[in-house]
Amino acid sequence: MMHVHKVYHRSLSLLALSVSARSPPFSPSSLSLSPPAFLALRPFRNAFSSLKTASTMTASRFTNLVPINALAGEDNGAVSSSSSSSNTAPNGNEDESTLGVGYCLPPPEIKDIVDAPPLPALSFSPHRDTILFLKRRALPPLAELARQEEKLAGIRIDGRYNTRSRMSFYTGIGIHQLMPDGTLGPEKEVHGYPDGAKINFVTWSLDGQHLAFSIRVDDEENTSSKLRVWVADVETGNARPLFQSPNIYLNAVFDNFVWVNNSTLLVSTIPLSRGAPPSKPLVPTGPKIQSNEQKNIIQVRTFQDLLKDEHDEDLFDYYTTTQLVLASMDGTVKEIGPPAVYTSMDPSPDGKYLLISSIHRPYSFIVPCGRFPKKVDLWTTDGKFVRELCDLPLAEDIPIVSNSVRKGMRSINWRADKPSTLYWVETQDGGDAKVEVSPRDIVYTQPAEPLEREQPAILHQLDLRYGGISWCDDSLALVYESWYKTRRVRTWVVSPGSEDSSPRILFDRSSEDVYSDPGSPMLRRTPTGTYVIAKVSKENDESTYILLNGSGATPEGNIPFLDLFDINTGNKERIWQSDKEKYYETVVALMSDLKEGDLRLDQLKILTSKESKTENTQYYILIWPDKQACQITNFPHPYPQLTSLQKEMIRYQRKDGVQLTATLYLPPGYDPSKDGPLPCLIWSYPGEFKSKDAAGQVRGSPNEFAGIGPTSPLLWLARRFAILSGPTIPIIGEGNEESNDRYVEQLVASAEAAVQEVIQRGVAHPNKISVGGHSYGAFMTANLLAHAPHLFCCGIARSGAYNRTLTPFGFQNEDRTLWEATTTYVEMSPFMSANKIKKPILLIHGEEDNNPGTLTMQSDRFFNALKGHGALCRLVILPFESHGYASRESIMHVLWETDRWLQKFCVSNNSDVNADVDPTSKDDSSKGATDSKSEAAAASGGGGPEASHFECEELHPRLHCQSLATGW
């Protein structure tokens, strides 16, 4: 399955191109189940999750797409905020006594963009002949976030639904036939379910004739039903409950349901024997004790929502325990195995076996459930236990160093090209990336039911960390490995069916070198619903070709391409390329993958997207040999008031010679010669690099549509601001040098170059340049106001961390501990330089932030430090909001606060930008953030900075750990 989300929530989201029995059901978004920006087909997910920076995804163009409110786990629904007071004060001239009373609305030009109704998400059938339009609402009300949550073992559970909390939903399903000429047939509504039903986890059957989805309904008394599984006939649109019994409910905390064949689903249900939730004892049975009398070395990051006591353990068991049930369309129901905390269930491609994972006690109070003891068993689809594959112990001691992993079998999956063959990987370094050993990982394969004494076969041995496999057949598979410390990524060609064929390296490159990215193999769907590498044949040519889909990074911007690649010789032929003059086009998926054997080049059919600076994304079918494009969507512009905005990708240079890039947006109709310089908002997010050359490479395209999310800085184009979006702020550590040891110096140098560029261009008033960011961007903002106050008139910092000493075992991409890099931790912390911040700073934070490190306490204590030194500052805590903001009331208020701050301290700023700056602050802007170590000790009272690479320990290949917004 593929999930494609645009960064702006109203536009088209192409969610799935073949959601079938071998593909995960999908939901619009949920707090902990948000899909990655572009999800590669399921069997290869591990390759892509481990090689994010290697650009191994099928369409690297989609690496930045999930909207921030989706990442925060809440749906996009339009509701009024009548439950709270709403005020509009766009000019920033309010009576100070009225500030902080109720929720406020931003000016209409911003509000109207955010409130625009969302476009539907799309899902293609397995046979590519039918499209679902999955209908959505706009922003949800705060009342939905206010529902009680159970925060257990690193996840948040809505006990009323027995699923992850803050789970969004679809409001309806429309079915369209894709006609031979590329047009869409009339819409046919799925019907039969209750009015007002909330729809989740929509899944195609293997043959594309049925849909399965979950339904939940709120009754008149404002109580919520638990989730039920429904099925619908695609031909008629008729929907009905899967279970005849009204007492069978879905347990969707982990896995939910999967098609085993065209008429049977395996469903995670709430055990019928379950009673009321366990009550918390009024009097504890004893003190809470943790011990390390064995002197083990256990270093963990600042995970949140962990289990706290025995009662939490009982609650976790209560909500997560599942009874697996085989349910046929004819009403037959059969239980599989005993109740347990099942986290995944994967049918084999031939539908004969079930790969079932579960977790069990002893639980932990210091790590989330992804590290709990894990058991993987093999069952037949008729309910017979076959064998236990592994039972892994509690993993509290995974080192914090990048590329460290759990000991034992991991990434256990079915081969996509075989009926029922398993493969997995085992570490040879004990999971510790600091250990030097060769090989580091070994990939094994084995039949589901091996012969007596038959040992697993070694497929491949790797010296870097395993990153996944793309399967094709016995003659071809691609194995990926990577190493973060060196940014090295390699792709191996192996012949799984040949013992005489030696693996060979296909690509060996730096993940940072986007110019050298050859692209990723395109995948085709098999008759069993899995996905394998598509082989392509040319007439009168015996060579073995595959299709490489690449982002096409160049110094002029991304120019996506499709190459016909000879897997044996390495020769390539470019058979398609984006229009680089005006449009930005990408290859989304193969549409001609229904026949057996190799695909014929002269019969190739692909799905593409097309957009420009001012035209929103539309989708096309492209058919060979003529490559005639047929448009299949015609979605209206999501914000016509900004249709004529101006966008330019600009390049400039840092004083140390590093090339930098940014995207400059200017309001519609702006003419610098007539209008003069504008107030400017710079919004960014730093990144780490190992080389100056890689840091200076251009990423993105000047022709991409300007996506505007509900809290995007681009909203201020409607307020006549110049927006410098995403100026690169590379923090470079070449060779053995660590990037963060010169963090402040490089941060300031990058900001100085950006500010100088917009001033030189005459688009930004030098006294009216503001800076802002989210998460690590908020950390950046605070540091710039402390160390480069001469550049900015004010700052906006959202959901940030400001005291790095409070996460002593690493943060962001910093692998060293506080004790190994004390000076770095202290000097990077803007908290330590609170006395230097003289420019106005607006701090905003969700009260229920669960991102590792960015506890709400971080903003609270930073505000107190600023206030203690007389800084002009304001702190806004958003009730019920997490790391990203979701509810309409909160988002509108964030926009009001931001607009008020910008109007008051940027637009109205007529003073010299340096007037109220400590004259010594500029001179020592690159020296660090503290004068003494005692200052750090005094400040280390709580909280912790975020680790934006939140540990994604998969409980199930189809479920993904919490995707947390780290930027816009």
Q: Is the pLDDT of residue 10 over 60?
A: no
Separation between Cα atoms, residue 49 and residue 648, nearest integer Å: 31
The confidence score (pLDDT) of residue 493 equals 98
Between 940 and 887, the more confident residue is: 887
Q: Is the pLDDT of residue 101 over 80?
A: no
**Catalytic one among 5, 9, 210, 883?**
883
**Which of 509-513, 785-789, 932-936 has the least mean pLDDT?**
932-936
Q: Residue 199 domain-assigned?
A: no
pLDDT band for position 221 (cuts 50, 70, 90): low
**Which of 9-23, 495-509, 587-601 has the least mean pLDDT?**
9-23
Separation between Cα atoms, residue 629 and residue 579, nearest integer Å: 13
Q: Residue 628 domain-assigned?
A: yes
Tokens of 205: 């059957």
The confidence score (pLDDT) of residue 72 equals 30
- Does 674 share its domain with 732? yes
Query: What is the domain range of residue 612?
Result: 514-636
Q: E-assigned strands of 310-440?
A: 322-328, 333-347, 353-359, 374-380, 385-392, 409-414, 421-427
The confidence score (pLDDT) of residue 716 equals 98
Q: Residue 73 domain-assigned?
A: no
Q: Residue 41 domain-assigned?
A: no
The confidence score (pLDDT) of residue 372 equals 98
pLDDT band for position 220 (cuts 50, 70, 90): low
The confidence score (pLDDT) of residue 8 equals 32
Please report the DSSP string for 853-874 in residue order.
TB-HHHHHHHHHHHHHTT--EE
Separation between Cα atoms, residue 631 and residue 276, nearest integer Å: 54
**Which of 52-66, 192-206, 779-793, 870-884 has the least mean pLDDT?**
52-66
282 Cβ contact list (under 8 Å, min separation 6)? none
Q: Is the pLDDT of residue 50 over 50?
A: no
- Does 522 share its domain with 508? no
The confidence score (pLDDT) of residue 967 equals 27
Q: Residue 926 domain-assigned?
A: no
Across 320-341, average pLDDT: 96
Separation between Cα atoms, residue 591 and residue 954, nearest integer Å: 30
Query: CB–CB of 229/259 below 8 Å?
Result: no
Q: Among 874, 906, 938, which residue terminates a domain?
A: 906
- Does 507 share its domain with 539? no
Tally of domains within the chain: 3
Q: Which residues of 150-188 are buried (b: 16+ CB within 10 A; e: fewer)?
A: bbbbbbbbbbebbbbbbbbbbbebbbbbbeeeeeeeeeb
- Does 522 share its domain with 482? no
883 catalytic per annotation: yes
Residue 361: closest CA among 344, 349, 373: 373
**Which of 53-67, 236-250, 347-361, 844-858 has the least mean pLDDT?**
53-67
Element (H, E) at 827: helix 822-828
Q: Is the pLDDT of residue 27 over 80?
A: no
- Does 651 share its domain with 747? yes
- Does 666 share its domain with 783? yes
Q: Give residue 527's Cα distance to chain centre.
A: 30
User: Residues for the chain: how many in total?
Assistant: 968
Q: Is the pLDDT of residue 937 over 90?
A: no
**Which of 564-568, 595-599, 870-874 has the least mean pLDDT?**
595-599
Q: Residue 448 domain-assigned?
A: yes
The confidence score (pLDDT) of residue 499 equals 84
Across 412-422, average pLDDT: 98
Q: Residue 670 domain-assigned?
A: yes
- Does 773 share its domain with 821? yes
- Does 572 share its domain with 671? no
- Does 622 share its domain with 653? no
**Catalytic one among 377, 517, 849, 899?**
849
Q: E-assigned strands of 17-154?
A: 121-124, 130-135, 150-152
5 catalytic per annotation: no
What are the φ and ψ backbone dihedral angles of 765, each rounded to 5 degrees? -75, 125
The confidence score (pLDDT) of residue 909 equals 86
Tokens of 245: 């019994």
Q: Is the pLDDT of residue 65 over 80?
A: no
Across 277-281, average pLDDT: 94
How big is the CA angle at 951 (ends 686 and 746), to the nearest 5 degrees?
15
Does the CA dihedral 358-362-364-365 come out positive or negative? positive
Q: Is the pLDDT of residue 950 over 60?
A: no
| Helix residue spans in 278-370 (DSSP H) | 310-320
Does the CA dihedral 447-453-459-465 come out positive or negative? positive
Q: Is the pLDDT of residue 329 over 80?
A: yes
Facing residues of 590 across strands? Answer: 606
84 catalytic per annotation: no
Query: What's the chain's average pLDDT?
Result: 85
- Does 536 share its domain with 618? yes
CATH code of residue 851: 3.40.50.1820
Q: Is the pLDDT of residue 576 over 80?
A: yes
**Catalytic one among 50, 775, 799, 925?**
775
Does the CA dihedral 232-236-238-242 come out positive or negative? negative
- Does 669 share its domain with 702? yes
Q: Is the pLDDT of residue 59 over 70?
A: no
Q: Residue 630 domain-assigned?
A: yes
- Does 616 share its domain with 495? no
Q: Is the pLDDT of residue 83 over 80?
A: no
pLDDT band for position 532 (cuts 50, 70, 90): very high
